[in-house]
Structure 1
Amino acid sequence: MEETTGRRERKKLATRQAILDAARPLFLERGFDPVTIAEIAEAADVSVATVFNHFRTKEDIVFWNQPADERALADAVRSAATGEPVVDAVRRYEEQRLAAKQEPQAMTGYRRFLVVLAGSETLRARDRWIEVRRREELHAALAETLGDSTTAVEVELLAGQLVAAHRAIDTVVRRGVLAEDRPAKVHRAAMAAVDLVFGALDVGVRGYRAAEQRGLVDAPAG
C-alpha cells in the first residue's frame, strides 16, 4: 500500500512538472495572456482537466511556488534562534535568498520570469496580491512570536516595514536582472540595499518602547 501511494505521488509530481515544463516556453515565446490552457495541455500531452487538477488557474502555473513565497518572511521569523531579534532573522533570510539567486542559472530563470511578468497585467496583479498575503502571514508570525509583550499597532507597523524592506531589495534585484547585469554586480547592489533598509529599520525599531527588551532588535552596544 505504501509503495502504491509512493508511486502515485511520484506520478503526480511528474505530471505537474511536465505541465510546468510545457508552459514555460509557450509563455516565453508568446507572453502569458495569449497562451491557452488547451495549448499547455497539448504541449504536456495531458488533458485540460488534468492541468486544472494540478493548477487552479493559469496564473498558478507561473506562480507555482506562491504558498512558499507567501510564507517565507513568516518562516524566517518563526525560525529565529532563542533570543535572536526577529529583524535579524529576517535580514539573515534576505541574505541567504540573495546568495542563492546570484547563481547564473537562477538569474537566467528569474529574468525569464520577470519578462513574462512585465507583459501581463493579470500576472502583475497576482504579484501584488502575493505581497498582501506575505504581509498577512508575517503579521501572524510576529504576533505569535512576540506575544503579549508587543502591541497590535507595533506588530502591524513592523510587518509593514519588513515587507517594504523585502520589496525594496527585490526591486533592486529585478532592475539589475532585467538590465542583464552580471550576477556579481546584481548581488553587490542588492546587498547594499540590505544594509540600507535594515540599517534604517534598526534605527526605527529602536524608537519603539523598550524594543530591545521584547525581541525586536539587539540592545545598542555600550
Structure 2
Amino acid sequence: MEHQGRRERKKAEVRARISDVATGLFLERGFDDVSVSEIAEAADVARPTVFAHFARKEDLLFDRYPEAEALVVAAINNRPEGTSAVAALSDLLIELSDQGHPLSTIRARFRRFWEVVAESRPLQARARELLQHLEDAIADAMAHTGVADPQLTAALTVAAVRTVHLEAIRRILATEDETVVAADYRARLITTLASIAQLHS
C-alpha cells in the first residue's frame, strides 16, 4: 500500500510538472504555437509520457477539470440537510470566487489565460466539451437528490453559470476593475441560481 502511495504521488508530481511547463509555454507563446514535443523536452519527459497523463493537448491547459468536477459533485452529494443541489452549487461557486481560487478565474491575474483560450479554436472547442461533461456529472449527482428533472435542472444551472462567468471574463479581458467585476459576478450568480433553485428544487 505504501509503495502504491509513493507511485501515485510520483505520477501526480510528473503530471503537475508537465502541465506547469505546458501552461508556461502557452501563456508565453500561445497554444497553437507550442508543440507537444517542445513541452515534453522542456518538462524532461518522453513525448508518450505527456499523452500517458493527458489524453489531449488541450487538457494540458485545462488540467484542473478533474478537480472542478470532483468539487461540484461533492458539493451536491455532501450538501447540508435542507439545502437544494442548486443552492449547494451556488454556495461552492461563491466560495471559490471569494477566495480568488484558480477554478473561478475572476481575477486580473488570469487575464492572459483567457487571452490564450480566446486565441485558439481548439481550446474553445475543448472547453465546450468539458462543460458538457460537467453538466452530465451534475445531472448524475442531482438524480440522487429528488430533483424532478435532473438533466434539465443541470442544463439550466450550467447555462446560467456559463453566461454569468463569460460576462465576467469579458470584463476582465477589457481590464475593468477586478473588485467590481467579482462583486457583480457574485451578485448575479446568487440571484440567477436562486431563481433556478426555487423553480426546480
TM-score by length of 1: 0.78
Q: Structure 2 matches for 1:150-169, cutoff 5 A?
A: 150-151=147-148, 154-169=149-164
Cα distance in 2 for residues equivalent to 1:73 and 1:11: 26
**What's the offset of the Cα at 1:199?**
4.3
Pair 1:9 & 2:4 matched: no
Change (3 A) 1:102 1:155: closer
**Counterpart secondary structure, 1:32:** coil
**Counterpart secondary structure, 1:145:** coil
Aligned pair count reads: 198
Query: Residue in 1 aligned with 2:34?
Result: 35
Letter in 1 for 2:47: V
Change (3 A) 1:116 1:137: same
Change (3 A) 1:139 1:5: closer
Letter in 2 for 1:36: S
Tell me if structure 1 keeps the 8 A contact 2:73–2:137.
yes
Pair 1:174 & 2:169 matched: yes
After superposition, the C-alpha distances for 1:20-77 in whole angstroms (9 at most, x for unaligned) are 2221222122211121111001111221122122222211111111223334433322
Query: Residue in 2 aligned with 1:213?
Result: none
**What's the offset of the Cα at 1:136?**
0.9
Tell me if structure 1 keeps the 8 A contact 2:18–2:50.
yes
Tell me if structure 2 keeps the 8 A contact 1:165–1:197.
yes
**Counterpart secondary structure, 2:145:** helix
**What's the offset of the Cα at 1:12?**
2.4
Pair 1:123 & 2:123 matched: yes
After superposition, the C-alpha distances for 1:54-102 in whole angstroms (9 at most, x for unaligned) are 2222111111112233344333221211222223212211211211227
Cα distance in 2 for residues equivalent to 1:187 and 1:72: 20
Pair 1:186 & 2:185 matched: no
Pair 1:143 & 2:143 matched: yes
Change (3 A) 1:26 1:73: same
Q: Structure 2 matches for 1:44-55, cutoff 5 A?
A: 44-55=43-54
Tell me if structure 2 keeps the 8 A contact 1:172–1:193.
no
Query: Residue in 1 aligned with 2:59?
Result: 60
Cα distance in 2 for residues equivalent to 1:85 and 1:60: 31
Tell me if structure 2 keeps the 8 A contact 1:102–1:183.
no
C-alpha RMSD over aligned residues: 2.3
**Fraction of identical pairs, as percent:** 35
Tell me if structure 2 keeps the 8 A contact 1:173–1:190.
yes
Cα distance in 2 for residues equivalent to 1:127 and 1:82: 33
Change (3 A) 1:183 1:139: same
Cα distance in 2 for residues equivalent to 1:190 and 1:55: 31
Tell me if structure 2 keeps the 8 A contact 1:172–1:189.
no
**What's the offset of the Cα at 1:17?**
2.1
Q: Which has the larger radius of gyration?
A: 1
Cα distance in 2 for residues equivalent to 1:14 and 1:71: 19
- Please identify, of 171-180 and 41-50, the stretch whose mean Cα deviation from structure 2 is larger: 171-180
**Counterpart secondary structure, 2:55:** coil
**What's the offset of the Cα at 1:108?**
4.8
